[in-house]
Amino acid sequence: MRVFAWLSLLCAVLPVNLVAASLSITDVVEALPSCALTCLTTALANSTCSPTDQQCICTNVPLNTEVNICVMEACTIKEALSTKNVTSVACNAPVRDKRNLYNWISNSFVIASWIAFLLRIASRFTSDTQLWWDDYVATFVMIVGLPQAVINVRGLTGNGLGKDIWTLNFTNISDMIRWFYAAEILYFAQVNFIKISILFFFLRLFPERKIRWTIWGTIITNLLIFIIIDLLAALQCRPISFYWKRWDGEHSGQCLNINALAFSSAGISILMDIWMLILPLTQLYDLNLHWKKKIGVAAMLSIGIIVTVVSILRLQSLIVFANTQNPTWDYVQLGYWCTIEICTGIICSSMPAIRLLLVRIFPRIAGTTHNSSNHSKSLGYDPSRRRSSVPKLASRNSYINGRRGSHAANQGITMMKTFDVTSSHRGMGFDKEIEEEDGTELVSRQATRSEAGTGDTERGLENTQSYESREDGEHLSPPHDQDGSRLSSARSINEGVLMSPRSPGWV
């Protein structure tokens, strides 16, 4: 593979450090490489500038163009970089430095992501919801992010990322590129495992067999993408060290097309983000929720669109990455968009757990109650809470019988309807905080005046139903036969639309 062609285009790829406030013509002549001095002498002979007129030499566009072309043909890369460094200082070119900006963005987003992650873990430990695979994968992402954060500050900006390339010495250039190589591998790992963490969260929510198979397929696809992309990134050059040594043109080796790898991985990541946005939204139609609550759930699940937007913005920085003639300056934008994308993904994946934590601490501010937040778990499958509810049935039924007596005195008629369904599974467990079995979601409503005539008839079925729901939303556990086992034929109360029990086809 050809050595960075774009480096020689500018005569400014990877330079020598020259410290000076300003240089006279004599200083320039002494500091320039012999090949560049020959080019400058020839160009001056063909121009209207005097050899002692420093201002004319610095501002004459045809003169500088001729010198650049000559240097590209006659000098090595290191000599070209030395020439760019000397002429920049001699002409008082502005010294640019974005290192502080890069460090501030990196550190700020890393701290924000750690706060979100710790709140997520705190939410798990302060509720009955236990840590599960989505939390374990998120923990892995945070652990991988620790060396990434150190590399951003010590490895990249510490070796010149954020400065013009011709202001660096050759050692810093090689070190910066080597750390950029390490950061690239860690980036691909973090991005893919954030997606996997979100997909495991979806497995908490959706119990239906079809959607769970789809989610598992997406997880496997993400793993395959990670393995392929990360291997290509790690082994893109032979030998591997050629990745950070090839810039000077003094080493031999071969590399893949780094631009093709960057664009293909970014495109695949954006497509996967879009797919993961569509995936949960397809399940909202079947949820037995008011349309306003559906909008709220959709907003929570669609928070990942922020990550997609960041990925698209990062894609724009790859255009500069592919065509830059000053990589240590132009890579700053690519670097901080990568950091923002990773940290935003961590924050977004932690938001559902953070919301539950805030609901417990500030129930009124959150616009709900602690009870309703726990009750909402019955809409999805929480694998971390698969506990048997059998030991709780006796006390639970006693509690319900007491409730029945109190409801008899209430005004209004409770309308009850029965439907025969078959279930081979018990409920997901008993939620001790809300005294409710985490099983089938049942719906009830109070009868209107026109239904009063049928209320007594419907009430007569109360003793035969397996699942019951009263006007206050209480869920009763399935009845037992004489030997204490649950009946397989269950009945539920609904106002016309039955929300089926937990899917018998759990994956």
Asked whether residue 432 falls in the same domain as residue 484, the answer is yes
Asked whether residue 240 falls in the same domain as residue 341, the answer is yes
Asked if pLDDT for residue 274 goes beyond 50, the answer is yes
Asked whether residue 80 falls in the same domain as residue 143, the answer is no
Last residue of a domain, one of 62, 90, 118: 90
- Range list of β-strands (E), 366-507: 420-422, 430-431, 436-437, 489-491
Give dist(CA 434, CA 359) in Å, integer.
14
Asked whether residue 74 falls in the same domain as residue 111, the answer is no
Asked if pLDDT for residue 69 goes beyond 80, the answer is yes
pLDDT number for residue 410? 47
506 inside domain = no
Asked whether residue 200 falls in the same domain as residue 319, the answer is yes
pLDDT digits (tens, 9 = 90+) for 344-385: 999 988 988 888 888 888 876 555 444 444 444 444 444 444
45 inside domain = yes
pLDDT digits (tens, 9 = 90+) for 132-160: 899 999 999 999 999 999 999 999 999 99
Average pLDDT, the chain: 72
Phi and psi (nearest 5°) for 369?
Answer: -125, 165
Asked whether residue 301 falls in the same domain as residue 411, the answer is no
Asked if pLDDT for residue 4 goes beyond 50, the answer is no
Locus of tokens 């000076």: 20
Phi and psi (nearest 5°) for 458?
Answer: -65, -35
Last residue of a domain, one of 90, 122, 139: 90
55 inside domain = yes
336 inside domain = yes
Asked whether residue 158 falls in the same domain as residue 78, the answer is no
Between 214 and 367, the more confident residue is: 214
Asked whether residue 110 falls in the same domain as residue 256, the answer is yes
R_g of the chain, CA atoms, integer Å: 33
| Residue 425 structural domain | 386-491
> What is the domain count for the chain?
3
Sign of the C-alpha dihedral computed for residues 112, 118, 119 and 120 taken in this order: positive
Between 204 and 457, the more confident residue is: 204
Asked whether residue 32 falls in the same domain as residue 114, the answer is no
371 inside domain = no
Last residue of a domain, one of 90, 125, 144: 90
Kind plus residue range of the DSSP H or E element containing 124: helix 99-125
pTM of the model: 0.66
321 inside domain = yes
Segment 27-44 shows an average pLDDT of: 82
Asked if pLDDT for residue 423 goes beyond 60, the answer is no
- Report for 126-135, 322-331, 365-374: range of highest mean pLDDT: 126-135
Asked whether residue 290 falls in the same domain as residue 398, the answer is no
Q: Residue 324's domain is classified under what CATH number?
A: 1.20.1070
Cα–Cα distances (Å) from 428 to 129, 191, 219, 489, 493, in that order, read: 12, 32, 24, 18, 19
pLDDT number for residue 161? 92
Helices and strands (DSSP H and E) totals, the chain: 18, 6
Asked if pLDDT for residue 9 goes beyond 90, the answer is no
496 inside domain = no
478 inside domain = yes
Asked if residues 363 and 370 have their Cβ atoms less than 8 Å apart, the reply is: yes
Residue 53 annotated as part of some ligand binding site: yes
Asked whether residue 85 falls in the same domain as residue 128, the answer is no
Asked whether residue 152 falls in the same domain as residue 67, the answer is no
Asked if residues 100 and 152 have their Cβ atoms less than 8 Å apart, the reply is: no
